[in-house]
Amino acid sequence: MPKTAPGAMRGCLWRCVQVLASLVILGFFLQENIAAVRVKQQHNTLLSEKKKMIQQIAQEEISSKIKNHLKHFTEMQQSSHVLRHVTYTVLAGASYQPKRLLTVGIFSVPHSHRTHLLDTMSSLFQASSEQDLEYMLVLVLLSDTDPTWLNQTVANISGLFMPHIESGRLLVVHGLLGGSRAKSRNDTSPCGKLYSRQKTSLALLMNFALNLSEYFLLLGDNVKTAPKFLANVFWALPAWKQLHWVSLDFSSMPLSGKVFHTEDLSRFVSFLLLFPKDIPTHLLLSEFRLLLSQNVPIRFSPSVFYRMDKDSEFKDTCFPAEQDKDLGRPDNPAGTVFTNMISFWNTNPQFAYFLNDDYFWTLDPLEGNYLLVVLDKPQKVIKVAVETGSTKNRLNLLKHGQLLLGYSPMEYPQRCAHYNLVGPLVRGQLEQMVFYEEDAVTEISCIKLLVTSSHDYPVRIMQIKVWTEVEDEESWRLL
């Protein structure tokens, strides 16, 4: 048998040692990898469990909030059972009414001074064309129990407005509310009594109007109506249809001139009756608007409804209305204009911001196009207006557009980081007062006209007008 050489033997042993060492190292490596994989799996499991836990906590929090809101609105709806005890009597007009686009609701109570109910109704009908009247119903709610006053009032209405009664455009009802859960705090002040009567009348009026129309316009019995007011209302409604709103204000008065969705009336009536009778109704309306997530008023300018008698009973004290201030001419603060629209006819986008007869022509603006004014210094804007097209034949309008006000200016590119919507253009125009949320930024740095749908024709942007808050002259002198 041949003998193996000692060198070969040592080489074989060395290879065995190398293989064994490699296997040991590989084993350690595999164990480390397996341990790492296990640690990673445990980590992923922990992350997954944490994620599930976070999702569960978030879901519970959301569910809790939803339950709170549902509980609140359930309480509101449950309180409306008091309206089952309401009694209505039709005093003039047909009790059955076809559903219309708009109900104009007028609430009236006796006054110690001369009543303006008949004047209010005359002004309303005189400001409405025959075509306008086809789309609206005038609903008058009388809530006093004095039979003499009721009979005389109905006789006066019938004598003056019989054609409107016979045509089904006018309905006069009397309402009584019994068993109200709205508590009284025994407030014998003149304002407290007035608020209580007003709240009861308003609840009766809105409750009766629930199924009469799609929208509801509220008026008091002391209101003068501007000519062609209905055109302002009718054109605004489709423009705002896709946007969230609770009330649209066509007046600076605290209650009159506000338009609501009729579907919101029952909730507002329930909301009214949750509070003591002597709490001012206009304050509750503001709270209701906030509750339904309209954070600021939406007020069109100029007003189309005005207080008829400015010195009427307790009105200046109990209902301190914001009067339409004469803001004078716009003062467009200095700024730079940018646009991604196609201009033509040698017009410049800056022309739309000049307060003169110049204007800016753009060719077939597309959805997403904009005209942006970046102000040199932040300003408190109190009113804005946009004019497009031709004032004579209403051609070349920007039919689909919105105006936004921006804050938090950025240097490159020049624009603002955040914007708030003022509103959509109505028939190519916009003129609105500007309001700010409590504790919100009140200094504006950008004014943006945004195209919301493409146009297949040229558009003429006449002017963007801006009114800013001017410091009081005496305050300026003290500086």
The closest alpha carbon to 355, from 466, 191, 440, belongs to: 466
Residues 11-53 have pLDDT tens digits of: 544 454 454 445 444 454 445 554 444 545 555 555 455 444 5
- For 81, the token pair is 């059972």
How would you class 350 by CB atoms within 10 Å of its CB: exposed for 0-12, middle for 13-18, buried for 19 or more? Answer: middle
Question: For residue 183, how many other CB atoms are within 10 A of its CB?
Answer: 12
Is pLDDT of 102 > 50?
yes
Say how far apart CA 448 and CA 430 lie, in whole Å.
13
Q: Could you tell me the residue range of the domain that residue 342 belongs to?
A: 335-470
Q: Kind of pairing, strands 136-142 and 170-176? A: parallel
Say how far apart CA 418 and CA 75 lie, in whole Å.
37
If asked whether residues 272 and 415 sit together in one domain, one would say: no
Is pLDDT of 178 > 50?
yes
Domain presence at residue 203: yes
If asked whether residues 188 and 219 sit together in one domain, one would say: yes
Say how far apart CA 36 and CA 204 lie, in whole Å.
74
Domain presence at residue 28: no
Domain presence at residue 353: yes
267, 293, 318 - which closes a domain: 318
Q: What total number of domains does the chain contain?
A: 2
The closest alpha carbon to 329, from 475, 474, 463, 472, belongs to: 463
If asked whether residues 167 and 130 sit together in one domain, one would say: yes
Q: Coil, helix or strand for 88?
A: strand
If asked whether residues 101 and 232 sit together in one domain, one would say: yes
Say how far apart CA 195 and CA 277 lie, in whole Å.
7
The closest alpha carbon to 169, from 132, 144, 143, belongs to: 132
Name which residue leads in pLDDT, 401 or 320.
401
- What CATH number corresponds to the domain at position 194? 3.90.550.10
If asked whether residues 280 and 378 sit together in one domain, one would say: no
List, as one string, the DSSP characters of 122-187.
HHHHHTS-HHHHTTEEEEEEE----HHHHHHHHHHHHHHHHHHHHTT-EEEEEEE--S--------
Domain presence at residue 250: yes
Domain presence at residue 24: no
Per-residue pLDDT, 146:
84
If asked whether residues 150 and 292 sit together in one domain, one would say: yes
Domain presence at residue 194: yes
If asked whether residues 393 and 348 sit together in one domain, one would say: yes
Say how far apart CA 146 and CA 157 lie, in whole Å.
17
Q: What is the band of 65 on the pLDDT scale with cuts at 50, 70, 90? A: very low
Partners of 226 in the β-ladder: none
318, 345, 377 - which closes a domain: 318
If asked whether residues 295 and 367 sit together in one domain, one would say: no
52 CB-near residues (< 8 Å, 6+ apart): none
**Average pLDDT score, the chain:** 82
Per-residue pLDDT, 27:
54
If asked whether residues 86 and 223 sit together in one domain, one would say: yes
If asked whether residues 129 and 229 sit together in one domain, one would say: yes
Q: Coil, helix or strand for 325?
A: coil
- What CATH number corresponds to the domain at position 377? 2.60.120.260
- Residue keyed to tokens 């929208």: 215
Give the dihedral sign, CA 92/95/101/102.
Answer: positive
Angle at 325 between CA 324 and CA 327, to 5 degrees: 130
288, 318, 348 - which closes a domain: 318
If asked whether residues 272 and 365 sit together in one domain, one would say: no
If asked whether residues 314 and 354 sit together in one domain, one would say: no
Region 196-201: mean pLDDT is 86
Residues 231-283 have pLDDT tens digits of: 999 999 999 999 999 999 999 998 999 999 999 999 999 998 888 777 888 88
Domain presence at residue 72: no
Please say whether the beta carbons of 138 and 169 come within 8 A. Answer: yes
Domain presence at residue 13: no
